[in-house]
């Protein structure tokens, strides 16, 4: 298989449109990014002279996204002020988690009433990616198959997960279906923090309060409705201060 081809069974739709709404996950405490996050939320930490949040919005605008729902919790006033003064060209809706941090799954559930699209995109604000031959978000939209999928995760090969020190998250079949690795083993693919979801993922018995999206993914995996596609361009796990310098060096910006 060419490195620019999707897995067997996932064939791009040349006329697919990118969802107009994206959820931007920005409520985390940023503990691994301390001391830089002592006075600012992690999405406002700068890489290559620009806040991580702004890098994400650059990609959303380029893909044609019209609206972003952003959740806030840690130092929310600073984050909201940045959204109001620095982010242009995209409608912003804030999902307020000031009173209680809801984790990834709970944050998505709280934000659902503001997400007026189905399917929709989800982007973590603490990763940085550079597009290759194909726009990342357009790649997801082109591969989305509503009849088969409730979740489509963008994955990167572990060998190309820059600044990432984990052992991988998923295995992926020739059809694109993903499955979990066995405990104590490595997996060839890392989740990039970029995904496309159907609201079907949030039907049935959904936990209340804080919970991880992993719970929803596992249900979709069991039902055969969770798929992945490999990342083509550069991707960086900018989760700790030393990774900022490493990222800038790889990008030739240090």
CATH superfamily of 21-250: Spore Coat Polysaccharide Biosynthesis Protein SpsA; Chain A (3.90.550.10)
Rounded CA separation 69/72 (Å): 10
Nearest CA among 251, 244, 240, 233 for reference residue 166: 240
Contact present, 146 and 48 (Cβ < 8 Å): no
Contact present, 56 and 102 (Cβ < 8 Å): no
Nearest CA among 23, 56, 20 for reference residue 202: 23
b (16+ CB within 10 A) / e for 237-254: bbbbeebbebbbeeeeee
Domain ranges of the chain: 21-250
Beta-sheet pairing, 120-124 with 21-25: parallel
Measured CA to CA in angstroms, residue 120 lies from 30, 69, 141, 153 at distances of 25, 11, 9, 12
pTM: 0.92
Structure-derived torsion over alpha carbons of residues 163, 189, 54, 243, reported in degrees to the nearest 10: -10
Written as tens digits, the pLDDT of the chain (254 aa) is 444 445 645 666 655 789 999 999 999 998 888 988 999 999 999 998 999 999 999 999 999 999 999 999 999 999 999 999 999 999 999 999 999 999 999 999 999 999 999 999 999 988 899 887 778 999 899 999 999 999 999 999 998 889 888 889 999 999 999 999 888 888 999 999 999 999 999 998 999 999 999 999 999 999 999 999 998 788 998 888 999 999 999 988 75
For residue 52, the model assigns a pLDDT of 94
Rounded CA separation 139/14 (Å): 10
């Amino acid at each position: 298989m060419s490195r620019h081809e999707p897995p067997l069974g996932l064939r791009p739709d040349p006329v697919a449109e990118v969802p107009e709404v994206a959820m931007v996950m920005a409520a985390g405490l940023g503990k691994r990014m301390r001391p830089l996050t002592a006075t600012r939320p992690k999405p406002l930490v700068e890489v290559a002279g620009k806040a991580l949040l702004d890098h994400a919005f650059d990609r959303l605008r380029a893909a044609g996204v019209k609206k972003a729902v952003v959740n806030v919790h840690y130092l929310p006033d600073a984050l909201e002020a940045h959204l109001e003064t620095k982010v242009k060209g995209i409608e912003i809706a804030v999902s307020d988690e000031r009173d209680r941090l809801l984790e990834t799954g709970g944050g998505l559930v709280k934000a659902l009433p503001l997400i007026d699209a189905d399917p929709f995109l989800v982007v973590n604000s603490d990763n940085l990616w550079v597009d290759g031959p194909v726009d990342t978000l357009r790649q997801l939209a082109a591969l989305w198959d509503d009849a088969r999928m409730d979740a489509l995760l963008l994955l990167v090969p572990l060998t190309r997960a820059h600044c990432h020190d984990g052992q991988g998250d998923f295995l992926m079949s020739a059809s694109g279906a993903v499955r979990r690795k066995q405990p104590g083993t490595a997996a060839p693919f890392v989740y990039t923090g970029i995904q496309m979801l159907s609201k079907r993922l949030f039907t049935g018995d959904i936990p209340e309060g804080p919970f991880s999206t992993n719970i929803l993914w596992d249900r979709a995996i069991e039902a055969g409705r969770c798929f992945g596609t490999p990342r083509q361009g550069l991707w960086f796990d900018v989760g700790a201060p030393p990774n900022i310098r490493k990222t800038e060096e790889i990008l030739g910006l240090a």
